[in-house]
Amino acid sequence: MLNLSVLDLLPVRTDQSTADSVAAAVSLARRADDLGFTRFWVAEHHNMEAVAATSPAVLIAHLAANTRRIRVGSGGVMLPNHAPLTVAEQFSLLEAMHPGRIDLGIGRAPGSDPVTAYMLRGPRAEETGADSFPGDVELVAGLLGSYDTPISDPFDAVSQPSVTIPLRGQDYTLRSTPRTSSSPSVWLLGSSTYSARLAAREGLAFVYAHHFGQSGIDDALALYRREFQPSPALAEPMTFLTVNAVVADTLEEASALALPQLITMARLRSGGALGPRMTVEQAQAVTLSPMEEDLVADQSARWIIDTPEAAWSQVTALAAKYGVDEVMVSPVASDHEGHDAKVGVAAERTLELLAQQRG
């Protein structure tokens, strides 16, 4: 059976507060949990009034505490924004609180504008990241260890994951704390062959950001599988597919629910600001420029916007095309005016309809 997962970017609608958006994410995660979805990931974005997800670790703790069995993780933590040890400690603590349910997805993008990136990174903001990123990934992965091998004695220093740090002419052993009896799974995220090659070299699970709607997934997955080197964390290549989706009982309704996010992304891609997500009625009242119309049409063709049976057919076709047994859906539907601001009604309906088709 094809596994289904969820990517939630925690958008903030024009009729929502940040608290409302977080409450809607909790409701969506609970629904995904009840429906048997495999994992629920949240992203990292900064200085964007339209997005509530600034701190994946904080959100993951909240979401995991409000769900039962679904894996919860980051899609992703933008590692250049953080000290690697801090990330390792945060996710060790999350794993200690919710054993066997935590995923750490790592990305290289800033997740923000240059000024905010500078405020997050300090002097490191001037670096390209190409030189430091591979070493930082190795450090985090080494500290977290293999999630396939349970740690029988968390107080046995020999069995604890560790890395050797050369500093001032000496080698130091560094271990992330708290000591846990299991490890979170580590995934490398990317939208290029750079990340695919790094994931293959390090023996990490890899996810191509197909929901971005750009080309390149064929080359990236082929390279990842071809060059993969087994590691203590992973014996074989492991990947899945991400896709934006809006599913409704009719094609007309699905198209209407998708329009607010389509307009948001069209404006962003044409150099506009990322404002709060509109309601369906607000989006339908917008007059698009010719460029925006073209961008909306282009994205519509790349997203899954359809009725349940047709949408499921597209999901399974994508999974077969790229040789994956899991698809992560980003339910990008907005809602009609007057709906509860603390619930993403259409997003939850997308998950329900896909789960029904899977059976």
Which domains are seen in the chain, by residue range?
3-249+304-358 (3.20.20.30)
Spatial distance between the Cα atoms of 204 and 71, rounded to a whole number of angstroms: 18
- pLDDT at residue 2 greater than cutoff 70: yes
Burial of 18: CB neighbours in 10 Å, binned 0-12, 13-18, 19+:
middle
- pLDDT at residue 58 greater than cutoff 60: yes
Burial 83-119, CB ≥16 within 10 A → b, else e: ebbebbbbbbbbbbebeebbbbbbbbbbbbeeebbee
- pLDDT at residue 306 greater than cutoff 70: yes
Burial of 23: CB neighbours in 10 Å, binned 0-12, 13-18, 19+:
middle
Residues 87-101 have a mean pLDDT of 95
Average pLDDT across the chain, whole number: 90
**From 196-210, 234-248, 264-278, 322-336, the region with the lowest mean pLDDT:** 264-278
Contacts of 282 (CB under 8 A, 6+ apart): 14, 260, 337
pLDDT digits (tens, 9 = 90+) for 319-329: 999 999 999 99
CB atoms within 10 A of CB 342: 16
Return the higher-pLDDT residue of 35 and 145: 35
**pLDDT at residue 215, as a whole number:** 79
- Answer whether the bond into residue 338 is a cis peptide, omega within 30°: no
**pLDDT at residue 121, as a whole number:** 78
- pLDDT at residue 28 greater than cutoff 90: yes
- pLDDT at residue 250 greater than cutoff 90: yes
**From 4-8, 177-181, 292-296, 312-316, the region with the lowest mean pLDDT:** 177-181
CB atoms within 10 A of CB 355: 18
Return the higher-pLDDT residue of 124 and 95: 95
- pLDDT at residue 158 greater than cutoff 50: no
Rg, the chain, Cα only: 20
Spatial distance between the Cα atoms of 140 and 39, rounded to a whole number of angstroms: 21
Spatial distance between the Cα atoms of 136 and 226, rounded to a whole number of angstroms: 24
**From 2-6, 36-40, 190-194, 337-341, the region with the lowest mean pLDDT:** 190-194
Residues 9-15 have a mean pLDDT of 96
- Per DSSP, the chain holds a count of helices (H) and strands (E) of 12, 12
Residues 169-192 have a mean pLDDT of 85
- pLDDT at residue 358 greater than cutoff 50: yes
Share of the chain above pLDDT 70, in %: 92
For 242, list phi and psi in degrees, rounded to 5. -110, 145
Number of residues in the chain? 359
Residue keyed to tokens 């949240």: 42
Share of the chain above pLDDT 90, in %: 72
- pLDDT at residue 127 greater than cutoff 70: no
- pLDDT at residue 156 greater than cutoff 60: no
**pLDDT at residue 157, as a whole number:** 46
Closest CA to 20 of 345, 343, 347: 343
- The dihedral sign for the CA sequence 322, 301, 278, 37: negative
Beta-ladder partners of 3: 326
**From 26-30, 127-131, 225-229, the region with the lowest mean pLDDT:** 127-131
- Answer whether the bond into residue 178 is a cis peptide, omega within 30°: yes
Classified as helix, coil or strand, 69 is: coil
- pLDDT at residue 174 greater than cutoff 60: yes
Out of 10-14, 118-122, 167-171, 230-234, the most confident range is 10-14
